[in-house]
Amino acid sequence: ADFCSAVCVEVPSETEAVQGTDMKLLCISCMKREEVTASTVVEWFYRPEGGKDEPIYEYRKTNHEFPSRFSGRIQWNGSKDMQDVSITVLNVTLNDSGIYTCNITREFEFEIHRPLFTSSRLIHLTVVEEAGEDFTSVISEIMMYILLVFLTLWLLIEMVYCYRKVSKAEEAAQENATDYLAIPSENKENCAVPVEE
């Protein structure tokens, strides 16, 4: 079973790019902890729909870009430990859709023998004219509008409730004042609490 070091996680590359943007083609190949000393060769190929693989980029101690439709548009994004051997295609076009292959060859430098390890990663890339809306973001937007409507209704209900409560309190105070004014003045004097000597 393959065992990857804690700092290396193999994750798939994104498969959709928007025309005119830069697209990183992710290619990660973890090495076992004991496989530290190794010479690595990386080869990148591109295959258009219905076409054949054509080399576009190679890393063999130094970077080498092959003459192709990608000339001047490929940027190396590999890490120093050569576990991440990704490249970035700059300013992608609709014609860049296709299958990209990342071939990794490692020769391990052990004392007794020098075994070779090879691996490949296929990336099916589709280039679109405009970014499509993510389903999650659409749901989030709908939920936000529902929440706004709910909060607005709740606020209106609270305002009506408070208005009615204040109105009733004012009416009760008005009635008490009217009842007090309706009492004859002699009765008001009788309402005074007698003082005991």
CB 74 within 8 A of CB 63: no
For the chain, first and last CA: distance in Å?
106
At residue 187, the pLDDT reads 56
Residue 31 counted as domain residue: yes
Tell whether 119 and 141 lie within a shared domain: no
For residue 116, being part of any structural domain is answered with yes
**138 and 124 housed in the same domain:** no
pLDDT at 48: 92
Q: Where among 128, 146, 162 does a domain terminate?
A: 128
Q: Which domain holds residue 149?
A: 134-172
**Cα torsion 104, 125, 10, 74: sign:** positive
Residues 58 and 76 in one domain: yes
pTM of the entire structure? 0.60
Which CATH number covers residue 65? 2.60.40.10
Chain mean position to CA 46:
28
Last residue of a domain, one of 71, 102, 128: 128
Degrees, nearest 5: CA angle 18-51-46:
50
E strands in the chain: 16-18, 23-25, 38-47, 54-60, 62-65, 74-76, 87-89, 98-108, 116-128
Report yes or no on 188 lying in a domain. Answer: no
The tens place of each residue's pLDDT in the chain, 197 residues long, gives 444 444 567 777 888 889 999 999 999 888 765 555 778 899 999 999 888 999 999 998 888 999 999 999 999 998 888 889 999 999 999 999 999 999 999 888 777 777 788 889 999 999 998 766 566 777 888 888 898 888 899 999 988 888 888 888 888 777 776 766 666 655 555 555 555 55
If asked whether residues 47 and 120 sit together in one domain, one would say yes
**CB count in 10 Å sphere of residue 42:** 22
Are 30 and 123 part of one and the same domain? Answer: yes
